[in-house]
Each structure stands twice: as structure tokens, then as C-alpha cells.
């Protein structure tokens, strides 16, 4: 038996971002089983927030929603996996079987080797941005220095990014191009829709507060947009208290076009 063993875990990536893995598929299966994110998270021995962060990441990168929230009422709220999500579960399981067979075949090739081998894997880009959106370029307005890129997200949510002309040319952007829009949570500001203030920021997305994580100095607020996309903002405790933010209310998240970073599949 060889002392060298080929190991690997199957991940499906979208534009170099983690999309689906074994743990995420298991979480989706638990949601199908229990119909509740809280029960699914408990069964997975993970926090409720970690479960929702994972679901938000999958929903934001997916061309179709994988998980739907059901509003509470007489019968109580709940969570369900969409038909598209269930199809992905079945597809991933089939890919996992083939992946296991592939690893077995590779290990057989090392049976007569007793030396170390360096296996080079693909480097997956990681980003600190809390907001990652998959979208399509629907308009480009070029200027002498900067270029304005209009991006259409699923559910007809729209973003505007301003990048340099050189960056636009380097990325090879054109109408119809698929892009990942990255926005850091501290660069997202919140405002009550009722205030109707005019702001210089080009992007303003309205959603319902579905998550609040308080820290000693700052608070993370998660908005769910009508499309199912989620937007996260990190604001000070003073701002949080002044705005009287609580789950279930509507808030506008706004951010500058220059704070939107664009990425593409290389």
C-alpha cells in the first residue's frame, strides 16, 4: 500500500467563489427535512446566524433562489428549499459519487510509489467583502477617465459601479457580461425610507431587516430585498440606536458607485 494518498473535497464554485460543498448540501437537506432553518442549524450543530449567512451566500451567487423564507402567521413561519435547490442537491450527490471514484483511480496510480508528491490545486480567491452579487452588465457609459457600469441582478435589482477606463478594458466588460459585484459592509449606509433624503450615492436598495448581530462597537444589519438578494451593512451602535432598527422594518441601504468592486471569471 502506498504511503502517498490523494485526498480532495468537491466544491462547486461560481466565478472563483465558493458556491456549493458537502456541508452546504447537507444544510439544504436538513432544511428540506425540517422545514425550519433553526432546526436545520441545530441538527448541523451550527449557529442560526452562520446558517443564514451560508444560505445568503448561496442565494446571492445562484441564478435562481435556493431557499425561500415563509413569513410567520397563524401557522407560523418556515423555510423551504426551492425546486431548483432540490435539483442541485441531486446533481451534487451524483458529482460526489464520480469524484470519489476519480480519487480512487488516482490513488491506484500511486500504489507503487513511496515518495512524496506535490499536488498543485486551484487557488480559490477569497474576499473580505460581506456582499457578493452575481449580475449581468446591461449598460456601459465610458468617460475620459472613469467608466460607469450598470448591472442587473436577479429580481431586477440594479447596481451602478464606477471604475477606471483601464479597469473596464482589462476586465473586457461589455453588455451581457456576467460579473460579481463586491461591496464591503462598512461602506453600506442605512436610512429609513420614510425620510426620503436625497443622497449623492448612486445605489439605494430597499429591503426588510431580517438579521441583527450586535457587537460592543458596531452592529451588522442584514436586509432582504424583494428579489431574495440580501445586503449587509455594518454601522455604529449610535447609528443603530438612532435609527431604532429592529427586525421586520424596512430600511434603505445606500452606497457609492465607486465603492462597488467588479470581478469576472478569468
Which tens digits make up the pLDDT trace of 160-172? Answer: 999 998 888 889 9
d(CA 167, CA 161): 12
Q: Where in the chain is the domain with CATH 2.40.50.100?
A: 131-263
CATH number, domain 1-126: 1.10.10.10
Q: 3-state DSSP call for residue 3?
A: coil
* DSSP-assigned letter for residue 200: S
Q: 3-state DSSP call for residue 4?
A: coil
Tens of pLDDT, residues 50-71: 998 999 989 888 889 999 877 5
Please list, residue by residue across 169-179, b when 16 or more beta carbons sit within 10 angstroms of its beta carbon and e when fewer do.
Answer: eebebeeebeb
Tens of pLDDT, residues 172-205: 999 999 998 999 999 999 998 877 667 778 899 9
Q: Where in the chain is the domain with CATH 1.10.10.10?
A: 1-126
Give residue 266's pLDDT band: very low, low, confident or very high (50, 70, 90).
low
Is residue 76 pLDDT above 60, yes or no? no
CATH number 3.40.50.970 given to 131-263: no
Amino acid at each position: 500500500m502506498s504511503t502517498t494518498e490523494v485526498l480532495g473535497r468537491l466544491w462547486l464554485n461560481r466565478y472563483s467563489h465558493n458556491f456549493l460543498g458537502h456541508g452546504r448540501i447537507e444544510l439544504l437537506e436538513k432544511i428540506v427535512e425540517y422545514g425550519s432553518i433553526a432546526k436545520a442549524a441545530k441538527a448541523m450543530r451550527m449557529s442560526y446566524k452562520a446558517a443564514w449567512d451560508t444560505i445568503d451566500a448561496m442565494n446571492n451567487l445562484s441564478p435562481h433562489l435556493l431557499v425561500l423564507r415563509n413569513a410567520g402567521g397563524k401557522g407560523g413561519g418556515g423555510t423551504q428549499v426551492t425546486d431548483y435547490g432540490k435539483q442541485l442537491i441531486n446533481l451534487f450527490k451524483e458529482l460526489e459519487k464520480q469524484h470519489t471514484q476519480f480519487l480512487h483511480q488516482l490513488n491506484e496510480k500511486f500504489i507503487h510509489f513511496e515518495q512524496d508528491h506535490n499536488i498543485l490545486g486551484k487557488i480559490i480567491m477569497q474576499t473580505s467583502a460581506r456582499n457578493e452579487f452575481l449580475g449581468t452588465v446591461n449598460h456601459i457609459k465610458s468617460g475620459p477617465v472613469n467608466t460607469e457600469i450598470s448591472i442587473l441582478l436577479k429580481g431586477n435589482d440594479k447596481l451602478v459601479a464606477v471604475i477606471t477606463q483601464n479597469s473596464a478594458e482589462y476586465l473586457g466588460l461589455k453588455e451581457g457580461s456576467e460579473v460579481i459585484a463586491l461591496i464591503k459592509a462598512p461602506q453600506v449606509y442605512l436610512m429609513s425610507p420614510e425620510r426620503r433624503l436625497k443622497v449623492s450615492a448612486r445605489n439605494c436598495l430597499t429591503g426588510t431587516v431580517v438579521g441583527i448581530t450586535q457587537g460592543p462597537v458596531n452592529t451588522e444589519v442584514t436586509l432582504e430585498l424583494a428579489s431574495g438578494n440580501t445586503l449587509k451593512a455594518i454601522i455604529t451602535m449610535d447609528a443603530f440606536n438612532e435609527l431604532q432598527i429592529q427586525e421586520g422594518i424596512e430600511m434603505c441601504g445606500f452606497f457609492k458607485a465607486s465603492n462597488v468592486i467588479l470581478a469576472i471569471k478569468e
